[in-house]
Chain A
Amino acid sequence: MYWQPDEERMDRKELEQLQLERLESTLNRVYLNVPFYRKKFDEAGFNPDDLRSLDDIRKLPFTVKDDLRDNYPYGLFAVPLREVVRVHASSGTTGLSTVVGYTKNDIKTWSNLVARILTATGVTADDVVQIAFNYGLFTGAFGLHYGAERVGASVIPMSAGNTKRQIKLMQDFKTTALVSTPSYAMLIADTMIEMGINRNALSLKFGLFGAEPWSDAMRRELQDKLKIIATDNYGLSEVMGPGVSGECRERSGLHINEDHFLVEVLDPETLKPVAPGEIGELVITTLTKEAFPMIRYRTRDLTRIIEEPCACGRTLRRMARIMGRTDDMLIIRGVNVFPQQIETVLFEIEGTEPHYQIIIDRKGAMDDATVLVEASEKIFFDEMKKQKELIDTIKKRMATELGISVEVKLVEKKSIERFEGKAKRVIDNRKL
């Protein structure tokens, strides 16, 4: 099943022509309209007129997350705000988050690309799609929402949380497709079991999970517990949101929407292309985005390209499921967390030392993060009440800074191991 069969099964030669055309016009537009890119291109000695082939993209400078932060909020927009019909911000980080925008056309493209992914899983106009992503600045919920509407499915904009109610609605509304993070789907499944609800009482057929890395073992468990076909999909708000790539029924890699995104897989150290099929960092250039084009965005996600054709008939190449991050960013409950953010909080709070350790466990299906914090001597040996106050303060600040709640434990000064060179701040006990 295809949503846009002509595009999804396009002859590779035709696809490359289309990519070249779209890359050229994208480069012309950003050079004309975004001072940041013009400056960067000029510094790199690159003029859009120099582009001769798709490989010439390697002459272009990279864009990284910091560039988005430095140009907060609208600095990288390529159209005037009046053309922008939607603004989203990246999930996870607060304060200096990264802002992205969409024109009317961008939203249309986005809907179609997500519709491709839904259709590839098997979702049709007959389905009832329950979206258990949080609605808000995060792109996940809206992306899937518009895609599902585009397909013609009945959409239930449920948002995440309130698990028992999710399950009740699933029964009452005869939900056939669940959209959520895999860990939340697991919580739903476990809650159902606790409540003594038989999976056969549900009409569920499909699960479209994304926004955090998950394993095939987890897929098997979800498919079994919920009696569904579970597919992975990938995207990031910096380049669009969900809709960059998604699995078909073969469930052996995510088809990249290459007519809208040009992908490279590079060695994160040398920044040279890896050999075909090797693992490296995914770098994405948008080919059709109007409001917020991205040139060579370093996703920090590790994957590899699967060159072999897929049995489903799509000619769009696949990428392997995300194998990890190139830096130490953590994804806890679908939210991006940087250890540095924790450090920042600790630096600002009186009575703590900037020495900490993050321990992440998976309790049931949910991630559980505990931050061990060293207290300064004078506080530590003071009364219990003050300790509790301190813990509460840290917890509150962490929740604001990280966007998720974490457990905090105070430990004695110098009890956390010190490292020479790179510190091991994170103990990730999750087994994906």
Chain B
Amino acid sequence: MLRIRNLDAGYGSLSVLRHISLHVKQGEIVTIIGANGAGKTTLLKTVSGLLRPKSGEVLFRDKDIASLPPERIVFEGCSLVPEGRQVFAAMPVRENLLLGGYVQFKRGRSSEVKADLERVYGLFPVLRQREHQLAGTLSGGEQQMLAIGRAIMSRPSLIMLDEPSMGLAPLVVKGIFEIIGKLRDEGATVLLVEQNARSALRIANRGYVLETGRIIKDGDAADLLTDREIQRAYLGKDLDAEN
């Protein structure tokens, strides 16, 4: 589905990602874990076209999308749920969602938008209840659901989520991760960037560990969860205290 080779990216003369290579296969949840500033968000911004890579390849379904503008990348079927939700606060929930469906209109599939909206409401019943409420009045968790719903409206083959648990209460986080698992069960492919490494590794199939712009480890999520180095660095386990 997604294949990244030797990707270098950054801001101006600041290099953030150093020759990153990774891949996401159809139907998997792949997570990228790493500390603040490791380059996780930069990676998603680059894949989604918000940032131009300095070099390297981003192949989405065997097509190089590295030089495409963001709207083309969404059109190709690769949607981002950005960090901090970025919902349109002054617009009602329903309109936020319909905006996500705009790409379906461009694809000549406007007739499907209504069914898609129903599907999102099915996934997030609370959004139906708040249908006419302004997005800015929603709680953090609801806004996150809205952001995910908006991405789903574009009928992506790959959903990228940037820190969906950020700033949310633990119970709400649990709900969000359940939804992500549900999306996978329905056949979606997910690239998940998270600081909440434990929750991310629990639902993911595979994971990559990003450290100062380089991937230093990859493997099955279950193996990474039990990796002592990762436990110490990212899962907040005080191994000495256990002994």
The answer to whether A21 and B215 have CB atoms under 8 Å apart is yes
The answer to whether A83 and B216 have CB atoms under 8 Å apart is no
Give the residue of A17, A83, A103 whose beta carbon is less than 8 angstroms from that of B23.
A17
How far is the CB of A42 from the nearest CB of chain B, in Å? 17
A22 to B23, CA, bound (A): 11
* Overall SS of chain A's interface: helix
Q: Does A335 contact B (CB under 8 A)?
A: no
Given that A20-B21, A24-B21 are known contacts, is A105 also in contact with B218, CB under 8 Å in the complex?
Answer: no
The answer to whether A25 and B215 have CB atoms under 8 Å apart is yes
Given that A20-B5, A24-B19, A79-B229 are known contacts, is A105 also in contact with B219, CB under 8 Å in the complex?
Answer: yes
The answer to whether A49 and B19 have CB atoms under 8 Å apart is yes
How far is the CB of B88 from the nearest CB of chain A, in Å? 37
Give the residue of B3, B5, B218, B229 whose beta carbon is less than 8 angstroms from that of A25.
B218
Give the residue of B211, B218, B228 whose beta carbon is less than 8 angstroms from that of A21.
B218
B25 cross-chain contacts in A, Cβ below 8 A: 14
Q: Does B86 contact A (CB under 8 A)?
A: no
The answer to whether B214 and A48 have CB atoms under 8 Å apart is yes
Q: Does B227 contact A (CB under 8 A)?
A: yes
Chain A interface residue number, banded: 20 to 34
Q: Does A320 contact B (CB under 8 A)?
A: no
The answer to whether B215 and A28 have CB atoms under 8 Å apart is yes
The answer to whether B19 and A21 have CB atoms under 8 Å apart is no
A79 to B217, CA, bound (A): 13
How far is the CB of B221 from the nearest CB of chain A, in Å? 13
Q: Does A414 contact B (CB under 8 A)?
A: no
A21 cross-chain contacts in B, Cβ below 8 A: 21-23, 208, 215, 218
How far is the CB of A39 from the nearest CB of chain B, in Å? 19
How far is the CB of A62 from the nearest CB of chain B, in Å? 23
The total number of A-B Cβ pairs within 8 Å is 57
B18 cross-chain contacts in A, Cβ below 8 A: 49
Q: Does A399 contact B (CB under 8 A)?
A: no
Q: Does B223 contact A (CB under 8 A)?
A: yes
B interface residues, how many (CB within 8 angstroms): 23
Q: Does A391 contact B (CB under 8 A)?
A: no
A51 cross-chain contacts in B, Cβ below 8 A: 6, 19
Given that A28-B216, A105-B219 are known contacts, is A52 also in contact with B19, CB under 8 Å in the complex?
Answer: yes
Query: Which B187-243 residues have C-beta < 8 A from chain A?
Result: 208, 211, 214-219, 223, 226-229
A137 to B179, CA, bound (A): 49
B15's nearest neighbour on chain A, judged by CB, is A49
How far is the CB of A391 from the nearest CB of chain B, in Å? 53
Give the residue of B6, B19, B216, B227 whose beta carbon is less than 8 angstroms from that of A32.
B216
A83 to B231, CA, bound (A): 12
A350 to B89, CA, bound (A): 93
How far is the CB of B68 from the nearest CB of chain A, in Å? 21
How far is the CB of B235 from the nearest CB of chain A, in Å? 15
B23's nearest neighbour on chain A, judged by CB, is A17
Q: Does A192 contact B (CB under 8 A)?
A: no
Query: Which B14-67 residues have C-beta < 8 A from chain A?
Result: 18-23, 25
A-contacting residues of B (Cβ < 8 Å)? Answer: 3, 5-6, 18-23, 25, 208, 211, 214-219, 223, 226-229
Could you list 21 A-B pairs, sorted by A, with CB under 8 Å? A14-B23, A14-B25, A17-B5, A17-B23, A18-B23, A20-B6, A21-B21, A21-B23, A21-B208, A25-B214, A25-B216, A28-B211, A28-B215, A29-B216, A48-B214, A51-B19, A52-B6, A79-B229, A83-B229, A104-B226, A105-B219
